[in-house]
Structure 1
Amino acid sequence: MFSRRHLTLLTDFGERDGYVGILKGAIAKIEPSLAVTDISHEIPPQDILAARFCLANAYPFFPKETVHIAVVDPGVGTSRRGVAIQLEDGFLIGPDNGIFDGVLRQHQEKILAAVELTEVKYWRTPEPSQTFHARDIFATVGAHVATGVRVDRLGVAIDPKSLTRLSLPDPQWHGQQVSGVIQYCDRFGNLITNIPSDDLAGKSWHVAAASRQIPQGDSYMSAKENDVVAIASRHGWLELGAYQRSAQELLGLTVGDSLTVVLS
């Protein structure tokens, strides 16, 4: 007998207006026994890059075949596609606007199927709201997938290579240096880069950023007062942080800004 799949939700809806509860109600109407985990609903409004990072960061920690519904959707009501993507170890459902770019970069070889969501029988209504596709399409499609509906029944197959990717560059090695960018800033002001910390394991190095030389450290407490330290973060990426301060404020850097790691 088919076992219900776990569901997750990630949005920029916040908790004030009841939108998250509405999504869960739409899911429960399909199958009230489904378990739903909130990854986050505090993504900054319309910030697809932040959603991309948070989803990719959370994805490996969920059981195999988890259904991830992610909706940060400034293009809602336009011609942008809604998609469902099946990977070897999970499902992604939401707008095709780059929100899945982080997961897909890490699991490109694991894509089994991708479809544009055109089969209205799996929507809440055949005439969805122009401003609430999360409720009328994505939540109900996700619930159907969690109850065993195959991805190929949800719409028209699309080439996985056509899925929208974001312009965030990959790290580039040049001799004893690797250049990267800030990909996310968390609520503490820590700056998470796109350089995998494993690439620097066992090496001595420092970071050049914002006209400063930032030393390697073991923890936030490695940073001196009003200074910044570079550490291998819990996310698996090189991170710039400060002790009880905001590295973002101290450095004046933001998402997309560049930095260089220099090996000693």
Structure 2
Amino acid sequence: MEKVFGCRGMARPIITLLTDFGLKDSYVAEMKAVILSICPEAALVNLSHQVEPFNILEGAYLLARAAPWFPKGTVHLAVIDPGVGGERKPLIVEAEKGLLVGPDNGLLIPAARRLGGIRKVLAIKASGKLFPERFTETFHGRDIFAPAAAYLAKGVKPERLGIEVDEYVDAAFPEACLKGGKVSGQIVYVDRFGNLVTNIDRRLLEALEAKPGSLLKVKAEGRKAFTVKLVKSYSEVEVGSLLALIGSWGTLELSANQDSASKILKLKAGQTLSVERQR
């Protein structure tokens, strides 16, 4: 049976958008205008346009986190593209449960894996009747990626838009590990509430025999060690107090009840830390 996406696979096609463009300028609106000109029936969903500028790993994290919640056949358009106009390829990634469009810098690959795995990767050929005769070398989001996403949502096969390639860039998320009774990990994301999201999953905490009510000793890069209680919900501690819990993506988060753990602890994404259960 032929694999179908877009209008052929759903009553109304869905295109998600993730960028580091922010909301001050017209960039996002221009991309949406192009999409709607080609596929006016598309439902456009903003994942985020507040990714830290040029932060490919942050974008890859958010895309991989959100994409699996969408219906099968959704087209995911992501543009964090510091190499725009250079030698990096514009890609379509066909995953088992959806399609991803964006630059070849690792941004798309973690999400594709979480969408059931990669079926094929294609380099977009921005030529012919489906793309503008001329396009800028500074805004591929509007001139290449947006048309590609729109045509995919209309049911155009990826092979009409590009050629299959074997080599592409992967964004490798750092992995936490257990050694000597301690888990070494990293803060991978800070949300708007100041929650410090780590890459330490539930399995590693269980290996420490940590459970709700346990005290965790945390030593973060550039900071003295501190102790925090592992709880199930924010309300289990006083307002303003620090806590640790398993967040909605199944990993350890350092938080504060109705406050910013990032500001209190003066920590940010990319910093390493170690965690052990206080005996």
On whether the aligned pair clears a TM of 0.5, the verdict is yes
Partner deviation per Cα, 1:80-132 (whole Å, 9 max, x = no partner): 1111101111111001112224324545x611010111242375314321111
The residue correspondences of 1:198-213 to structure 2 (distance < 5 A) are 199-200=204-205, 203-204=210-211, 206-210=216-220, 211-213=225-227
> Is it true that 1:132 corresponds to 2:142 in the alignment?
no
Query: Which moves more between the two structures, 137-146 or 117-126?
Result: 117-126
> Which position in structure 2 is the counterpart of 1:98?
106
> Which position in structure 2 is the counterpart of 1:33?
41
**Any conservation in 1 of the 2:94–2:100 contact (CA below 8 Å)?**
yes
- Aligned positions, number: 261
Please, which of 241, 248, 258 is the counterpart of residue 244 of structure 1?
Answer: 258
Q: TM-score, normalised by structure 1?
A: 0.89
Please, which of 150, 174, 181 is the counterpart of residue 179 of structure 2?
Answer: 174
- The letter for the 2-side match of 1:235 is W
Following TM superposition, by how much is the alpha carbon of 1:261 offset from its aligned partner in structure 2, in angstroms?
3.0
Percentage identity across paired residues of the two chains:
38
> Is it true that 1:45 corresponds to 2:53 in the alignment?
yes
Following TM superposition, by how much is the alpha carbon of 1:223 offset from its aligned partner in structure 2, in angstroms?
4.1
The residue correspondences of 1:128-207 to structure 2 (distance < 5 A) are 128-159=135-166, 162-174=167-179, 176-197=181-202, 199-200=204-205, 203-204=210-211, 206-207=216-217
- The root-mean-square deviation of aligned C-alpha atoms, in Å, is 2.3
- The letter for the 2-side match of 1:41 is H
| SS at 1:189 equivalent | coil
| SS at 1:120 equivalent | coil
Following TM superposition, by how much is the alpha carbon of 1:149 offset from its aligned partner in structure 2, in angstroms?
1.6
In structure 2, the CA distance between the partners of 1:232 and 1:79, relative to structure 1 (3 Å rule), is: same
Please, which of 57, 77, 87 is the counterpart of residue 79 of structure 1?
Answer: 87
In structure 2, the CA distance between the partners of 1:112 and 1:31, relative to structure 1 (3 Å rule), is: same
Following TM superposition, by how much is the alpha carbon of 1:209 offset from its aligned partner in structure 2, in angstroms?
2.6
In structure 2, the CA distance between the partners of 1:229 and 1:166, relative to structure 1 (3 Å rule), is: same
Structure with larger Rg: 2
Partner deviation per Cα, 1:30-80 (whole Å, 9 max, x = no partner): 121111111111222222222112111111110001100001111111111
Following TM superposition, by how much is the alpha carbon of 1:16 offset from its aligned partner in structure 2, in angstroms?
2.3
> Which position in structure 2 is the counterpart of 1:2?
8
In structure 2, the CA distance between the partners of 1:15 and 1:123, relative to structure 1 (3 Å rule), is: farther
Please, which of 26, 32, 50 is the counterpart of residue 18 of structure 1?
Answer: 26
Following TM superposition, by how much is the alpha carbon of 1:221 offset from its aligned partner in structure 2, in angstroms?
3.1
> Which position in structure 2 is the counterpart of 1:65?
73
Runs of 5+ consecutive residues of structure 2 not aligned to the other structure: 1-6
**Any conservation in 2 of the 1:228–1:247 contact (CA below 8 Å)?**
yes
| SS at 1:121 equivalent | coil
- The letter for the 2-side match of 1:193 is T
**Any conservation in 1 of the 2:240–2:256 contact (CA below 8 Å)?**
yes
Q: TM-score, normalised by structure 2?
A: 0.84
Please, which of 206, 229, 243 is the counterpart of residue 215 of structure 1?
Answer: 229
Please, which of 63, 74, 97 is the counterpart of residue 89 of structure 1?
Answer: 97
d(CA) in 1 for partners of 2:148, 2:162: 11
d(CA) in 2 for partners of 1:87, 1:122: 26
- The letter for the 2-side match of 1:139 is A
In structure 2, the CA distance between the partners of 1:111 and 1:167, relative to structure 1 (3 Å rule), is: closer
| SS at 1:195 equivalent | strand
d(CA) in 2 for partners of 1:64, 1:175: 42
